[in-house]
Amino acid sequence: MATGRLFISLDAIAANWQALDRLSGPHVETGACVKADGYGLGAAAVATRLAQAGVRRFFVAVAEEGVALRKALGHGPEINVFSGHMDGDTEALRDAQLTPLLNSIDQMLRHVEALPGHAFGIQLDSGMNRLGMEPAEWAALREIAEAEKPTLVMSHLACADEPEHPMNAQQLQVFLEMTQGLGCPRSLAATGGTLLGPALHFDVTRPGIGLYGGLPFEAARPVVQLDLPVIQVRSVAPGETVGYGNTFTATRDTQVATVAAGYADGLIRAASGNCALWAHDVPCPIVGRISMDLITVDVTDVADMPTHLTILGAHQGVDTFATAAGTIGYEVLTSLGARYDRHYS
């Protein structure tokens, strides 16, 4: 089989949620963000396991994701849609019983006219300038919105992964001012905000990346292991080159393994030459460029060549690989391709 094996621990995801739930505190509901197909790991499988662990409130990016999630979860859990009520979403929101997080006056009007009495939440812009109603817009709409009883009023922190960043305190103050006296649940914290402490927890936290083993949740249990099959091993003499652009030149007699995966599978080309694969406990540096479907690896120091080499696992997590590629763990996870043979446990 010439496809990589992606091992996904649903139990680790559930354990990470439970740990973040404990950090959120006994009087705070802990939801779960499963957008982008469960951060690339399969929203249906991830959300089903999280529902078994106790999650009753999920968050997705768009209505289409919510429809697929409703099919997996059935009736009961609340599914919130960050993009709100877009033009063309009405039927999906109604039929799948999704809760849009309304981002503007236009969305509010569309929602109450198209789906009177249907549940909704509100997203506020506390300073990130991305999604949500700005203070003046919210002030004009607040009385009407309160009368309709939103299920949640939320905002999103821009710098929660930097605990000392002054933006965190600034956004907290703005959010407090915008929501003072509201009689509905409030939410400000995703993973980073949850780690910042109780002042940012409010009524609902909504962790995302921390569930999947990523930073800034340093205590998270690892969730993924990715093993890549070895297609061929060849001898490369000193002075010979490997891969596109001749970017690697052997300086010794070198054994080079070619494995079946590449940037088409989410293994970002920029990591070329900056990290390794692993044969058990032996590091095997990437040599030459990561190409679309293949990676070449120096296995000279491997005594007994295994059938697969590990690129994500105990020795190199998603954030370590991401650093080598000049990006973040989120991008690595959400880029993992469809060609992998996925195993859930």
Whether 157 maps to a domain, the answer reads yes
278 and 317 fall within a common domain: yes
Average pLDDT, the chain: 96
For residue 246, tell me if it sits in a domain: yes
Q: What is the CATH number of the domain that holds 267?
A: 2.40.37.10
Q: CA-CA distance, 245 to 205, in Å (whole number)? A: 48
DSSP state of 271: G
What CATH number should be reported for the domain holding residue 78?
3.20.20.10
Within 8 A by CB and 6+ apart from 232, the residues are 257, 258
263 and 139 together in one domain: no
Between CA 276 and CA 44 the distance in angstroms is 32
Query: pLDDT (tens digit, 9 = 90+) per residue, 6-17?
Result: 999 999 999 999
Count how many domains the chain has: 2
Task: Tell me the whole-structure pTM to 2 decimals.
Answer: 0.95
Determine the average pLDDT of the residues in 94-118. Answer: 96
Give the integer Cα–Cα distance in Å for 184 and 122.
Answer: 10
Backbone region of residue 284 per phi and psi (left: phi > 0; alpha: psi in -120 to 50; beta: other values): beta
Residues 24 and 167 in one domain: yes
Same-domain check for residues 207 and 250: no
With respect to residue 1, please indicate whether it lies within any of the assigned structural domains: no
Check whether residue 84 and residue 174 sit in a common domain.
Answer: yes
Q: In this structure, are 167 and 273 located in the same domain?
A: no
Rounded to whole angstroms, the Cα distance separating 254 from 46 reads 42
- Domain span including residue 272: 224-344
The number of CA neighbours under 13 Å toward the Cβ of 43 is 25
Q: 185-203 pLDDT, tens per residue?
A: 999 999 999 999 999 999 9
Query: Is 65 domain-assigned?
Result: yes
- Asked which of 212, 245, 261 is the last residue of a domain, the reply is 212
Do 207 and 329 share a structural domain?
no
Handedness of CA 121, 125, 128, 129 (dihedral sign): positive
Residue 320 lies in a domain: yes
**Range 50-70 average pLDDT:** 98
- For residue 1, pLDDT over 70 is answered with no
The torsion of the CA quartet 143, 147, 152, 154, rounded to 10 degrees, works out to -10
Catalytic sites, residue numbers: 35, 244
